[in-house]
Amino acid sequence: MATKSAPDSTRRSERSRRAIYDAAMDLVTEVGYGKLTIEAIAARAGVGKQTIYRWWPSKGAVLLDAFLDLGAQATQEASDAAGHETTQYEIPDTGDLETDLKNVVRSTIDEFKNPKYDAPWRALAAEGMINPELSAEYVEKLLEPSLQLFVKRLEIAKEAGQVAPHVDPRIALELWSGPLAQRWLQRTGPLTHEYGDKLVEYALYGIAPR
Amino acid sequence: MATKSAPDSTRRSERSRRAIYDAAMDLVTEVGYGKLTIEAIAARAGVGKQTIYRWWPSKGAVLLDAFLDLGAQATQEASDAAGHETTQYEIPDTGDLETDLKNVVRSTIDEFKNPKYDAPWRALAAEGMINPELSAEYVEKLLEPSLQLFVKRLEIAKEAGQVAPHVDPRIALELWSGPLAQRWLQRTGPLTHEYGDKLVEYALYGIAPR
């Protein structure tokens, strides 16, 4: 993060990096990931292409860092708004697991539908599918931390007796994260709040009669 | 399907098509989807590249048809083995839904791990993610028909009182198909039979205490 005490050169490279992220995100939306080139990102960002090659090995790596930066910005904004450093985002605990999960799932569905991020996010996921190194970084830095928020919430629910003792929270969360990812990535059906609610209900209570 | 009464030209183009499918599948595994070209497929298959361009608009379309052909071959082989035309594959109904689902999920996990198909299948899925037209064809012809087998099995289970009346089978099946797709495509964790079993158990009985 650039701060008021950062030297000019740090602030300049901070600005360049953000310009590169914005250029990469916008260009994926405009021309598609297949036609995205480092040259075009450099031209749009107003930097030399060597600047990009110095920092990133591939266009997929630029996109991954762009999303990580968005996350860092969101945390920074939350800290600024709170007037102090915020701890990492947590899934709210109202004591009602079903409601808490439905709310997070609904927000996730809304995020999937944000047209600003749809094309670059898909591109990153698609690149990860055929590129194991990028995939490992994507999962470790971006996907797994967000899934761990569910693990934490499910552990709390377990202690409160709302999740059965034998259940593995890291697997349980996939009952909704998996279907959401599949509908989003593979376009197998509509992503609606009603659909998200049903996933949470089926996951909590099962599809066999109680 | 080529039959004994097919004219020579049909048998020849049947052979060319199969050669093109094999070449495309093998080349994806060898050089990666990013570096796969129509020219290289044509050279490996021993056909002119115009032959490929006449039949398919893109390398992704070749891969999709290659997988559809594999499915058709499997059906043909099953018919030949049975000595008569078989009906479409169905999920076995032993009367025990949990066991039947676990068996299919375990087979699916084994298929995901077949090294022959891993790279081309990932490539097709990845291409579909950023190519809506190919995605629509992939889902309609390849993915949805296999998911509908679960719908059918769940409808039978519903009539037998093993699935609750309010449950929508098309959504319920995603409780395991979604997580399997996510672990396979995004490499978020190991794909083991034990994992598959847990998904089925959580889906059937829920993660909340009974």
A12/chain B closest Cα distance in angstroms = 34
Nearest residue in chain A measured CA to CA from B184: A129
Q: Do B199 and A167 touch (CB under 8 A)?
A: no
Mean pLDDT of chain B: 91
Side chain identity, residue B179: P
DSSP track, B128-157 = HHH-HHHHHHHIIIIIHHHHHHHHHHHHHH
Most confident of A76-80, A167-171, B52-56: A167-171
A204-209: average pLDDT: 98
* Predicted local distance difference test score (pLDDT) of residue A3: 46
> CB-CB: which of A122, A175, A210 is closest to B130?
A122
- Judged against a pLDDT cut of 80, whether residue A84 lies above it is answered with no
Q: Do A129 and B130 touch (CB under 8 A)?
A: no
- Domain range annotation of chain B: 89-205
Residue scoring higher pLDDT (A75 or A189): A189
- Judged against a pLDDT cut of 60, whether residue B130 lies above it is answered with yes
B129/chain A closest Cα distance in angstroms = 6
- Judged against a pLDDT cut of 80, whether residue B8 lies above it is answered with no
A87-108: average pLDDT: 92
Length of chain B: 210
The alpha-helical segments, DSSP class H, found in chain A are 8-31, 38-45, 49-55, 59-82, 97-112, 115-130, 132-138, 144-159, 169-172, 174-186, 193-205
Enter the ipTM: 0.88
> CB-CB: which of B171, B187, B198 is closest to A202?
B171
B175/chain A closest Cα distance in angstroms = 5
Nearest alpha-carbon partner for B125 in B191, B56, B60, B175: B60
- Judged against a pLDDT cut of 50, whether residue A16 lies above it is answered with yes
- Judged against a pLDDT cut of 50, whether residue A67 lies above it is answered with yes
* Predicted local distance difference test score (pLDDT) of residue A172: 98
Q: Two tokens at B163?
A: 């699935």
A12-36: average pLDDT: 92
Express each pLDDT in B96-120 by its tens digit: 999 999 999 999 999 999 988 999 9
- Judged against a pLDDT cut of 60, whether residue A2 lies above it is answered with no
Size of interface A-B (CB pairs under 8 A): 181
- Judged against a pLDDT cut of 90, whether residue A59 lies above it is answered with yes
∠ Cα B173 B72 B52 (to 5°):
115
Of A11-20, A27-36, B28-37, the least confident: A11-20
Provide the 8-state DSSP code for A139.
Answer: I
Integer CA distances (angstroms), A19 to A2, A8, A61, in order:
14, 16, 15
> CB-CB: which of A129, A170, A208 is closest to B205?
A208
* Predicted local distance difference test score (pLDDT) of residue B173: 98
Nearest residue in chain B measured CA to CA from A205: B206
Q: How far apart are CA A117 and CA B20, in angstroms?
A: 37
Express each pLDDT in B144-157 by its tens digit: 999 999 999 999 99
With bands split at pLDDT 50, 70 and 90, how would you rate the model's confidence at B2?
Answer: very low
Nearest residue in chain A measured CA to CA from B139: A188
A75-103: average pLDDT: 85
With bands split at pLDDT 50, 70 and 90, how would you rate the model's confidence at B1?
Answer: very low
Coil/strand/helix, residue A6: coil
Most confident of A133-147, A194-208, B1-15, B66-80: A194-208
Side chain identity, residue A2: A
B173-181: average pLDDT: 98
* Predicted local distance difference test score (pLDDT) of residue A45: 97
Nearest residue in chain B measured CA to CA from A28: B130
- Judged against a pLDDT cut of 90, whether residue A207 lies above it is answered with yes
Provide the 8-state DSSP code for A34.
Answer: G
Nearest alpha-carbon partner for A28 in B145, B129, B171: B129
Nearest alpha-carbon partner for B129 in B37, B60, B32: B60
Residue scoring higher pLDDT (A41 or A12): A41
Q: Two tokens at A148?
A: 């761990």
- Judged against a pLDDT cut of 70, whether residue B3 lies above it is answered with no
Residue scoring higher pLDDT (B12 or B153): B153
Chain mean position to CA B137: 13
A31-56: average pLDDT: 94
DSSP track, chain B = ---TTS-HHHHHHHHHHHHHHHHHHHHHHHH-GGG--HHHHHHHHTS-HHHHHHH-SSHHHHHHHHHHHHHHHHHHHHHHHHTSPPPPP-----S-HHHHHHHHHHHHHHHHT-HHHHHHHHHHHHHHHH-HHHHHHHIIIIIHHHHHHHHHHHHHHHHTTSS-TT--HHHHTHHHHHHHHHHHHH--S---HHHHHHHHHHHHH-SS--
- Judged against a pLDDT cut of 60, whether residue A1 lies above it is answered with no
Q: Two tokens at B20?
A: 């093109």
Of A114-118, B7-11, B39-43, the least confident: B7-11
Q: Do B129 and A186 touch (CB under 8 A)?
A: yes
Domain over B89-205 is classified CATH 1.10.357.10: yes
Q: Do A182 and B187 touch (CB under 8 A)?
A: no
With bands split at pLDDT 50, 70 and 90, how would you rate the model's confidence at A34?
Answer: confident
* Predicted local distance difference test score (pLDDT) of residue A75: 79
Express each pLDDT in A162-186 by its tens digit: 999 999 999 999 999 999 999 999 9
B86/chain A closest Cα distance in angstroms = 28
Q: Two tokens at A146?
A: 């967000």
Of B39-48, B56-65, B123-132, the least confident: B123-132
